[in-house]
Amino acid sequence: MDWWIQAVAGFGVGVLVGLTGIGGGALMTPLLVLAFGFAPAVAVGTDLLFASITKSGGVWVHTRRRTVEWRAMAWLAAGSLPAAALTLRWLGRWGANPRQFDVLIVPVLAVALTLTGAVLLFKTRVQRFAGQWNRTGHLEERRRPLATMAVGAVVGVLVTLTSIGAGALAAAALLFLHPRLPAVKVAGTDLAHAVPLAAVAGFGHWQLGTVDFPLLGNLLLGSLPGIFLGSHMGGVVPERALRSILATLLLLVGFSLALK
């Protein structure tokens, strides 16, 4: 496949990420598998390193604005990073052949896409329900760290297997577990957690041989200017309408992979 086609795909995903804030994994991984024909394991491994690089700039911005709740981020990472390492160890023992990974990755990818699409489609309702739940029966303060670590562990496994989950799913969990966090801090904390998780999982996939570096370079060539452009187009395209379209697309892709 010509390099410029991959760069154009990276640019398109970058623009959408800049516009909506939706994690690139939910968009890039299915694109690489269904449109470009890459093995699911290679798509996941390459996308993890892609995500860790492209999201680093966003973490820098949130850090400067002081919109990262580092304590909540540390609790998430305390669950997700060990879970990612254990998942990678298990994958390594299972076999280094990417085709063997595909047997597991495809159905888990379908579940991750469906869940992400549902959270995005019903984002407003999820936020409203989280607010009601926290007013009536929120967690005791002493149980909050353990609950956050448990969510982090689930996200760590899901991200390592599919490259999806560190964005919309982790953010939804933060709404329930940390109700005092404003929306901007939820986004910043979620992003700050996603970068080291994607880096650890991506490095592990590199060791397993499921990272395509020429593909990674071509995607970055297009995505970095795409994210810059998309982040400056926020007032041009209605974010809510675009998010609904993307959520519906993710649900359809998830269902199609489940049937496959």
Q: Supply the pLDDT for residue 236.
A: 67
> Average per-residue pLDDT in the chain?
84
- Using a pLDDT cut of 70, give the percent of the chain over it: 87
Q: What are phi and psi of 170, to 5 degrees?
A: -65, -40
Q: How confident is the model at residue 60 (pLDDT cuts 50, 70, 90)?
A: confident
Instruction: Let me know: does 41 contact 101? Beta carbons within 8 Å.
Output: yes
* Domains contained in the chain, number: 1
Domain span holding position 114: 3-259
How many CA atoms within 13 Å lie on the side-chain side of 166? 36
Average pLDDT over residues 215-230: 90
Residue 179 has pLDDT above 80, yes or no: no
CA 21 from centroid of its chain's CA atoms: 10
Q: Supply the pLDDT for residue 154.
A: 94
Task: Report how far residue 194's alpha carbon sits from residue 197's, in angstroms, rounded to the nearest whole number.
Answer: 5
